[in-house]
Structure 1
Amino acid sequence: MKSLPWILVCLLVCVVVWMRCNPHDPQTMYVKGDTIRVRDTIVDIVLMPVKETLKRTDTVYLPILIDTTTYRTVEGDSVPVIIPITSKEYKNDNYRAVVSGYKPSLDFMEVYREKEIITLKPKQKRWGLGLQVGYGYPGGLYVGGGVSYNLFMW
């Protein structure tokens, strides 16, 4: 019986040394379960178009320039001008944009992505195994190991 306290002290020292040498991973410990909604804004530089295609051609009648020396119009009222309507596609990992028109170009683009971060709180254990110290009846002071159950957790 005289060696029991020394065995318990050695066991306690071994547990403390083991706990100091093997710290808990802080990534697995969460404060509380929570859902966070984050809205990312992606502002990207304007890239070169990936694909450019001719959609159609429009004919527009433009007035003829007045001769500045005689202030008269040259023969005819207007001249037909063919305008190409093209479509350009800009593509990236985060977006796809298609613009079309006469000499189209993408000036500015913002993409708003919505993402959800869900952090789950790990379930705490109610049962445990540990060292206990207390007062026992009728023997007096009690030091030893035991199984415990947590009634209240915070």
Structure 2
Amino acid sequence: MKPWHIILILILCFLCFLTGRHTKKAEVGFICKTDTFIRVDTIRDSIPYPVYETVIQTVPELFPVYITLGGDTIREPVYIPVPITQKEYRTEDYRLSISGYKPNLDYIEIYRKTEQITKVVDRRFGIGITAGYGIGRNGLSPYVGIGGFYRIW
């Protein structure tokens, strides 16, 4: 084998080393990589029926009544009891309780957070099909075969 062949192979190996070092950042001490994907699901639900409804209390509310007698207008205050109720809505995804005067649920959205974590273990040693150009009995020749490898980065 000629000396310039060996020099050319060494230069090619050195250039491949520098290219691999430049394109892939070396993380010393990490054997596995963790990939986290966070997705927010939006659930739109129809207006459900309450599970139960309870009257908590009644509050007297002033309601003015105007009475006209013989050309005179008389203002008479009347107190009307207003019921304060509490309603509870329940499904397997949420539990909701509201209270007030004639409480109604108009719209509900639930944002459920889903977190998916994937761990990928980097293998340093491996066996695989290799192809390339190598030194044999007859000098430099193409090579295809099964070989082992050790990954540096």
Q: When the two structures are superposed, what TM-score results if normalisation uses the length of structure 1?
A: 0.59
- 2-side partners of 1:72 and 1:56: how far apart? 34
Q: Classify the secondary structure of the residue corresponding to 2:120.
A: coil
Q: Aligned ranges for residues 32-71 of structure 1 at < 5 Å?
A: 33-67=34-68, 70=71
CA deviations 1:15-60 (Å, max 9, x no partner) are xxxxxxxxxxxxxxxxx85211112222211100011111111111
Match for residue 19 of structure 2? none
Question: Size of the alignment, in residue pairs?
Answer: 120
Instruction: List alignment gaps of at least 5 residues for structure 1.
Output: 1-31
Cα gap change, 1:114 to 1:129, in 2 (>3 Å)? closer
More deviation, 59-68/80-89: 59-68
| AA at the equivalent of 1:151 | R
Partners in 2 of 1:118 and 1:83 — Cα distance?
53
Q: CA deviation at 1:135?
A: 5.7
Secondary structure of 2:41's counterpart equals strand
Hey, what's the Cα distance between the residues in 2 that align with 1:68 and 1:115?
70
Sort the Cα spacing of 1:125 and 1:106 in 2 relative to 1 into closer, same or farther, 3 A. Answer: same
Amino acid at match of 1:126: F
Task: Give the partner amino acid of 2:77.
Answer: S
- CA shift in 2, pair 1:69/1:44, >3 Å: farther
The runs of 5 or more residues in structure 2 that have no matched partner are: 1-32
The one-letter amino acid of 1:43's match is: R
Displacement after TM superposition at 1:100 (Å)? 0.5
Q: Could you say which residue in structure 1 is the equivalent of 2:91?
A: 92
SS state of the match for residue 73, structure 2?
coil
Structure 1 pair 112–129 and aligned structure 2 pair: CA distance change class (3 A): closer
RMSD of equivalent CA atoms: 3.4
Residue 123 to residue 108, structure 1, CA distance change in 2 (3 Å):
same
TM-score normalised per structure 2:
0.59
Aligned residue for 1:6?
A: none
Task: Tell me if 1:127 matches 2:126.
Answer: yes
**Between Structure 1 and Structure 2, which shows a larger proportion of strand residues?**
2
